[in-house]
Amino acid sequence: MAGRTGVWLVGARGSLAVTAIAGAAAVRAGLVEPIGLVGETPALAAAGLPPLSDLVFGGHDVADTPLTKRAERLVAAGVLPAALPAAVAADLAAAEAEIRPGAHRDDGHPQAGTVERLCADLVAFRTRNELDRVVVINVSSTEPVTAPRPEHADRAALDKGLLSTTDLLPASSLYAYAAFTAGCPFVDFTPSTGARLPALHALALRERLPYAGSDGKTGETLVKSALAPMFAARALRVLSWSGTNLLGGGDGATLADPRAAASKTAAKQRGLGEMLGYPVDGQTHIDYVADLGDWKTAWDHVTFAGFLGVRMSLQFTWQGCDSALAAPLVLDLARLTARAHRAGLVGPLGALAFFFKDPVGSTEHRIASQYDQLCAWAAALP
Amino acid sequence: MAGRTGVWLVGARGSLAVTAIAGAAAVRAGLVEPIGLVGETPALAAAGLPPLSDLVFGGHDVADTPLTKRAERLVAAGVLPAALPAAVAADLAAAEAEIRPGAHRDDGHPQAGTVERLCADLVAFRTRNELDRVVVINVSSTEPVTAPRPEHADRAALDKGLLSTTDLLPASSLYAYAAFTAGCPFVDFTPSTGARLPALHALALRERLPYAGSDGKTGETLVKSALAPMFAARALRVLSWSGTNLLGGGDGATLADPRAAASKTAAKQRGLGEMLGYPVDGQTHIDYVADLGDWKTAWDHVTFAGFLGVRMSLQFTWQGCDSALAAPLVLDLARLTARAHRAGLVGPLGALAFFFKDPVGSTEHRIASQYDQLCAWAAALP
Amino acid sequence: MAGRTGVWLVGARGSLAVTAIAGAAAVRAGLVEPIGLVGETPALAAAGLPPLSDLVFGGHDVADTPLTKRAERLVAAGVLPAALPAAVAADLAAAEAEIRPGAHRDDGHPQAGTVERLCADLVAFRTRNELDRVVVINVSSTEPVTAPRPEHADRAALDKGLLSTTDLLPASSLYAYAAFTAGCPFVDFTPSTGARLPALHALALRERLPYAGSDGKTGETLVKSALAPMFAARALRVLSWSGTNLLGGGDGATLADPRAAASKTAAKQRGLGEMLGYPVDGQTHIDYVADLGDWKTAWDHVTFAGFLGVRMSLQFTWQGCDSALAAPLVLDLARLTARAHRAGLVGPLGALAFFFKDPVGSTEHRIASQYDQLCAWAAALP
Amino acid sequence: MAGRTGVWLVGARGSLAVTAIAGAAAVRAGLVEPIGLVGETPALAAAGLPPLSDLVFGGHDVADTPLTKRAERLVAAGVLPAALPAAVAADLAAAEAEIRPGAHRDDGHPQAGTVERLCADLVAFRTRNELDRVVVINVSSTEPVTAPRPEHADRAALDKGLLSTTDLLPASSLYAYAAFTAGCPFVDFTPSTGARLPALHALALRERLPYAGSDGKTGETLVKSALAPMFAARALRVLSWSGTNLLGGGDGATLADPRAAASKTAAKQRGLGEMLGYPVDGQTHIDYVADLGDWKTAWDHVTFAGFLGVRMSLQFTWQGCDSALAAPLVLDLARLTARAHRAGLVGPLGALAFFFKDPVGSTEHRIASQYDQLCAWAAALP
């Protein structure tokens, strides 16, 4: 328990990763209050999470923007306070030294080699820093939806396929594979495939590792998961739920690709029916609006029937900063997953559904119930 | 258990009462689905509530608008389906026959006589209809805030004062006094004083009666009680919560009186601090907009700080029909309170906080927790 | 000037047509105030428009829903007052008697025959009712975008092609062709092609007829055309303008077909750049939400830069009843176009841009300027 | 025309004044685009306005916050770009050197002496800087509503009263009096009394000076003045118009004083009836929300009747930065009023109504018409 915990961020040079690294340093140094960090609230005080001061950051990235450069951009965008990059320069430099080149789905040679390289990076990070454990968290851009292949369902076939194929797994799954091989828990904060393939699930079980995901719940879906149960508890009939999300920044541009949007939109819609118990009419749009930068605006319009069928409506507009909403969840997930690993938990961590749009190991989408489950689970950890 | 239950509505000729009476008849007759009735959901199916078909309606009112006339107005306002008044004419006539003149705070003679008359009406209603029990529910217009008097705190002093004073108690408390004297549970669906005086609480205990209240949670506050816990669970710091409520109809006109608005606004703000754990900046306005009729529109604007203090915002607009939102809650409360009475419960029913802005016997304002408590309580009733 | 004016509605059995016919009768009979009718305001009092009482209605439709049936549905949807259908039964019956079968694009035989039949219906209507003139107005459902063909650009080639081809023109253009051949002005209230083909423009000129269009401006675009000039006048730089339109009813279902939506969306976006003088980022969505019926809700989100580049935003939500917004414009257009015909005007009526999203004969989209032009034009009519 | 123009800001150390001074310097230096400056648009290019580079700033203030300090705070609030204060340090220093102590309504001695002192400051500023003219603009905090006194209506009585009374005029009117006495045009950008007293009007006429006001139109009222004419032109009947304004910053705190709010609210409501031609139901609230800083959020809710009386609604939310919205208008007003002075215009400048909520010399509130009038007036200046 006295040792340190590694947090390995896939997409370590992106806005989210840098906000998490710089923010953890700022909270640790007492420069800012721990707003947004569930792990710092009284409810989880007795859960035995590794303290923020014991986290060591590293990661993979296919880009090479220096962390300090990214941090400056985040200041200009109003995400980081102006004085922060200088105040946490040492922490950024330490993380910078622990970033290694990432991988694309198809780098032109068999993927087995890529997995080996990524795995070696993780093992070296753990050894070099004398870490008790390393949690790998995917915070990179959303991938297009992955077409299924037979090898995805069978571990032996997958291993064999990786020896000769250059594009069998999407990048997110390569990272999950490498994490499990290196004995590291894996968290997918994006809607990408990650560990969600039968062959990778089997690998996690074999290595006795926990994993969590998918798709951090930071905005529209968060509000949905608070409001939909209200309609259900009051026996009000939701007739339609329509949404429009305006996003700037890197994630917006990625999602402007309709193939990537499809995976994110599907995750958003899935939970609504599960919370209400019936399918609901309505579409969800994701638009890229470059001018919005790191900010996103979501408008949702809900029509519902009350007593005697009278039609009524609810609208909401959410205006949030994506990186600032997501970064504390990444830190919470790193600490909770590390704690689960220490407790010997294996397989999907359904109790972390609180953090995700599309939780693995859980069909609970109601935020209040998820919160109750999280607190009860954390209190009961051995 | 085979007997029938009386529902005595104070304000029986108002929009809310008539929507409840006509709506209960419509659901009973299978003309409409039981939307909005929590008592008809699976979660409460085993609670042993008196069935809708066993409810008998009566009430007090100071007005003399016939129920059929009010029902027609509700059709014109889009609250009741056009065909409904004719379809439930017999039910309206039956209720009409059971309405007696109400009371004002000061009718010019000592209030003891008024209480006696109101009490006699209740006893006669119960006897005449061979009812197992009668639940009295105040659904009349909101009163101005009541100035405290020493007699309010002492049952003996109160009894003595009523013999000689014409305005010692507000009307809502006269009805509560009469209910308790007649052996009837009392529910206050309004923010008026009702049973919330030490002397009346003592009377309820002496008569071994339960009571519930106050101020039905039907719109802005309902949404607040779903959203505020979301901010709390995620450790987001709410910086301000401002609201504007536009109301037409009778309630809007009453609340345009700033003295009445004060009591309603206070109830709205009280819960927010309790849900978040700290006081929050911001005002809540209630405006009368005649043109809105039975409809109300609420706009709430919330600012909050996320990780590293980044400021974000959430707005919502709720557009609802007041009578259609409140009427099913009145029916639920009648049945649940009757059930509590049968179970022998005494004093404030905190487990019914789910229905109220300002719950007696509870400091829980979070809708999800209130719902869990309600279901657990109902399941455990003897 | 003492004679009567025919109003021939293409899509005469639809919600919009029936609202226009019933509404004209209601205003004529003094049952309702002339709200929404620009032609009844002081600004146009001296323009010499044919009075509402001199309008005679007829039309084409491919459906056979009786007008009284449609009127009942409009009552149920809250568009028509409950008592109206009975009060204007005679007017509905008179119009019913003047409705003839419409045409599809491809009825399986050469289109020349279809045009001839439609034209004969118009001439017979004018003769039978001893009308001074007949204005043909397309209020039918939006067509898919029409692929151009060489014959569309040349009148002689078009005439020749119609003799042998079954799908050369879209239905809206068949009606325009028939109107011009019968000596009738044509108005396109939809975004369909209608008269907007060089060959049909030439035909209108040859027959010395005016025409107007396209796409009635009734909601989101109306508000846009009031707000965009505000930004321009104040030298504020609009950075993005995003919109989501939720529509029920027939039009919503039609527009759910992406091919039809494309034509409507393009019309919506075209004007914004013209009002601001530069292209603006942002998408406009049109979603079909069946539950909304005749109602539509539009949410627009605008980001703009102010002094020193400070970023700000404006959002609006418009909740309107489509038929009630459009019907008075149809009546205004019928009267203004009849008046233009009487004055001998020929070709596109740019002065009617006030009514349209995508005005023929004008590039003015700013509502205030359009209104000034309309009033000046009407005052100057010979 | 070759000379320079003085801009004397009452409230020179406030956010608005500093944004105007720093912003003018930034535009002049080519550091930012002239967004928000109507005077820099093609429409006014030929009006002969004094160029931005010929403006010289000074002013009065009762506070002593250095301009550079205020500029830093504006950077922190996101109003000024981070690099701006350094880039325009010389301009801020030049203005700082020209700021003199302001006046309160009651400084404990007869007001004649105060007026004399303020007037001397203006004359010295003009002489010292060899200015062609000086425009005095009140950008200080809103005053409470002023109770009328007989002396306000009569110039001779006023002059006499000032010799012996310490609180006869509110501060804003002392500044107007001083301006007129010094031969300077006066602009009131606030809702305070300023020059709007018969005795001061008479003084302006005697001195052959123009004046303008009142209450800069920068947010909710600006949008109102674009939307209300749309309803009027379309003959739609506005039934209610309700508004809530959430303000932080100095102005918000001032307006939290209900007496000051009253004057601002009245100005907001006055124009609506004039634009529509009938009085409209609804209230406008101004709430102080400290957390909002220099930003303001306005929500307006409009109900209106369309054809056949069908009820519909429009809502908008405006989120703007007060200083950034107002500062360019102050610069425009300085230049336009200087130009009017050069042209020899006398009395209230109704053609500047475009800039004001409560324009002197005009009853035109419609933004498009105001803009047309402004452009026509500027083009016709001798």
Q: Can you list the domains of chain D with their CATH numbers? A: 4-215+324-380 (3.40.50.720), 220-321 (3.30.360.10)
Taking CA atoms, D319 is separated from A232, B227, D313, in Å, by 33, 22, 20
Which chain B residue lies closest to C77 (C-alpha atoms)?
A: B78
* pLDDT tops 60 at residue C78: yes
Q: What is the mean pLDDT of residues D335-341?
A: 98
> Nearest-CA distance from D9 to chain C in Å?
18
Do A215 and A351 contact (CB within 8 A), yes or no?
no
The pLDDT of residue D290 is above 70 = yes
pLDDT above 90: percentage of residues in chain A: 88
* pLDDT level of residue A162 (50, 70, 90 thresholds): very high
Is the pLDDT score of D266 beyond 80?
no
The phi, psi pair for B208, rounded to 5°, reads 55, 50
- Greatest CA separation found in chain D? 68
Q: What is the mean pLDDT of residues C29-39?
A: 96
3-state secondary structure C142-211: CCCCCCCCHHHHCHHHHHHHHCCCCCCCCHHHHHHHHHHHCCCCEEECCCCCCCCCHHHHHHHHHHCCEE
Shortest alpha-carbon distance between residue A289 and chain C (Å): 6
pLDDT of residue C251: 62
pLDDT of residue D211: 98
pLDDT at site C249: 72
Residue contact B303–D292, C-beta within 8 A: yes
Q: Which of D40, D227, D310 sits opposite C226 (nearest CB)?
A: D227
Task: List strands edge to edge, sheet with A55-61.
Answer: A99-101, A55-61, A4-10, A131-138, A186-188, A210-213, A347-348
Residue B1 is predicted with a pLDDT of 44
Of D303, D313, D317, the CB nearest to B315: D317
Largest Cα span, chain A: 68
Is the pLDDT score of C235 beyond 60? Answer: yes
Q: C5 near C135, Cβ under 8 Å?
A: yes
Q: Do B285 and D281 touch (CB under 8 A)?
A: no
- Going by C-alpha positions, the residue among B350, A272, A343, B242 that lies closest to residue D246 is B242
Q: What does the pLDDT look like over D5-31, one tens digit per residue?
A: 999 999 999 999 999 999 999 999 999
Q: Of all helices (H) and strands (E), which one includes residue C297?
A: strand C295-305
φ and ψ at A211, to 5 degrees? -145, 160
Closest Cα in chain A to D81: A76
User: Measured between CA atoms, how close is C240 to chain A, in angstroms?
Assistant: 7
3-state secondary structure of D7: strand
pLDDT tens figures, A200-247: 999 999 999 999 999 999 999 999 999 999 999 999 999 999 999 999
Residue B296 reports pLDDT greater than 70: yes
pLDDT at B253 over 70: no
**A275 neighbors A195 (Cβ within 8 angstroms):** no
Of D163, D314, D139, residue with least CA distance to D226 = D314
Per-residue pLDDT band at B293 (split at 50, 70, 90): confident
Token pair listed for A152 = 């995805």
| Strands, sheet with C99-101, edge to edge from the N-terminal-most edge strand | C99-101, C55-61, C4-10, C131-138, C186-188, C210-213, C347-348
The arithmetic mean of pLDDT across residues C88-99, rounded, is 98
Alpha-carbon distance of D140 to D18, in angstroms, equals: 12
Q: Which residues in chain D touch residue B303, judged by CB atoms under 8 angstroms apart?
A: 289, 291-292
Amino acid making up residue D196: R
Q: What span, in angstroms and rounded, lies between the C-alpha atoms of C62 and D262?
A: 60
Rounded to whole angstroms, the Cα distance separating D345 from D108 reads 37
Torsion angle, CA of C33/C39/C40/C41, rounded to 10 degrees? 110
Contact (CB, 8 A) for B210 and B346: yes
| pLDDT level of residue C1 (50, 70, 90 thresholds) | very low
Residue whose structure tokens are 């830069």 = C305
Q: Could you read off the pLDDT of B1-13 as tens digits, one per residue?
A: 458 999 999 999 9
- Going by C-alpha positions, the residue among A277, A274, A296 that lies closest to residue A287 is A296
Residue of C nearest to A291 (CA): C239
Is residue D226 within 8 Å of residue D369, measured between CB atoms?
A: no
pLDDT at C143 exceeding the cut of 80: yes
By a Cβ cutoff of 8 Å, what residues of chain C touch chain A?
239-240, 242, 244, 246, 281-283, 285, 287, 289-292, 297, 299, 301, 303, 311, 313, 315, 317
Give B124→chain D minimum CA distance, Å.
46
pLDDT digits (tens, 9 = 90+) for B215-229: 999 999 999 999 999
pTM score, two decimals? 0.94
Q: Which of C29, C7, C12 is nearest to C70 (CA)?
A: C12
Distance separating alpha carbons of residues B24 and A25, to the nearest angstrom: 60
Spell out the residues 6+ positions from residue A301 whose beta carbon is closer than 8 angstroms to its own.
A240, A241, A242, A243, A313, A314, A315, C244, C246, C297, C299
Instruction: Give the pLDDT of residue D1.
Output: 44
The pLDDT of residue D19: 98
**Interface touch D314/C223, C-beta < 8 Å:** yes
pLDDT in tens, C178-195: 999 999 999 999 999 999
Which two tokens mark A273? 């029916």
**ipTM field:** 0.95
Neighbours of chain A (3+ CB pairs under 8 A): B, C, D
- Summarize the confidence of residues D67-72 as an average pLDDT: 97
Using an 8 Å CB-CB cutoff, list chain D residues near B310. none
For residue C265, pLDDT beyond 90: no
Looking at the DSSP bridge assignments, the partners of residue C247 are C288, C296
Q: In angstroms, rounded to a whole number, what is the distance separating the alpha carbons of residues D244 and A55?
A: 46
In chain A, which residue's Cα lies nearest the Cα of D75?
Answer: A82
Which residue in A120, A128, A127, A96 sits closest to A25, CA to CA? A96
Q: If you average pLDDT over every residue of chain B, what do you get? A: 94
Predicted pLDDT at A252: 61
Residue of B nearest to C78 (CA): B78
pLDDT above 90 coverage of chain B, percent: 88
Q: Is the pLDDT of residue D2 over 60?
A: no
Residues of chain D in contact with residue C303, where contact means CB-CB under 8 angstroms, are none
Task: Note the pLDDT tens digit of each residue in C297-326.
Answer: 999 999 999 999 999 999 999 999 999 999
Q: Using CA coordinates, name the residue in chain A closest to D315.
A: A315
**Which pLDDT band, with edges at 50, 70 and 90, does A258 fall under?**
low
User: Are the Cβ atoms of A301 and C299 closer than 8 angstroms?
Assistant: yes
